[in-house]
Amino acid sequence: MNEGFPIPAGRQTHLPWLDGLRGIAALWVLASHVQILSGMRDIPVLSWGGIAVDLFMLLSGFLMAHNYFLRRRAEPWDAPRTFTMFWLRRFFRIAPLYYLLLIVAIAMGSMLAQDRSAIASVWPSTMTPLHRYLDGSLDNYLAHFSFAFGFLPDFAFRTALPDWSIGLEMQFYLVFPFLMLAFWRFGAFRGSIAALAVCGLMWFLFPAYFARF
């Protein structure tokens, strides 16, 4: 195994201060949604929910890479079994609770649509398309239960859940082992440049696709 990524002897397996920071970011996102639904879109800090989402995802990515480093001797980065174990861990970390909430959201879709309409009657700027709550098509169900909705603009925002971020996470989980393998083989700097170049190329080649999300 290439030793280009040494692990300090005093490494920590848990970084509680980052968990706390992620908790603050999650509460920030919640507060941002509350002020949107109450028609107050311009409150400083609270209205910057996008920054909180970026912070949460940045910290989550860092912690994921940290744990990947700690397991690299037991789970070599170039072993197919490592890829499989990583994907299984991430799936079962997310899917059970997500599926439960998805079933609840589908069952309560009509009621939530009525409530959202009632809110919009007071604050019209908070209204979103009602098909988000009322789409009972098999295609929509399959897209969400398979997590394919993250790749499909027509279904990316098609349930009562704010699950667009789950779709994004699943995409990141899919490519994460390949990214770490590239960093190991080519170095962190060149691997990062290559990843950014691929992202930029995809954005350049398919602007209409990304604009639909």
Q: pLDDT value at position 122? A: 86
Q: pLDDT value at position 34? A: 84
Q: State the Cα torsion 48-54-59-61 to the nearest 10°.
A: 170
Q: pLDDT value at position 186? A: 92
Q: pLDDT value at position 13? A: 67
Residues in CB range of 197: below 8 A, 6 or more apart: none
Closest CA to 170 of 67, 57, 80, 59: 57
Q: pLDDT value at position 5? A: 52
Q: pLDDT value at position 17? A: 80
39 neighbors 33 (Cβ within 8 angstroms): no
Q: pLDDT value at position 11? A: 56
Distance CA 116, CA 130 (A): 8
Q: pLDDT value at position 3? A: 46
* Global model pTM greater than 0.75: yes
109 neighbors 132 (Cβ within 8 angstroms): no
Q: pLDDT value at position 45? A: 82
Query: Inter-axis angle of helices 49-70 and 16-37, to 10 degrees?
Result: 150
Mean pLDDT by 10 residues, the chain (213 residues): 48 74 89 81 81 89 90 92 95 95 95 91 86 94 95 93 90 94 92 93 94 89
Q: pLDDT value at position 12? A: 60
47 neighbors 81 (Cβ within 8 angstroms): no
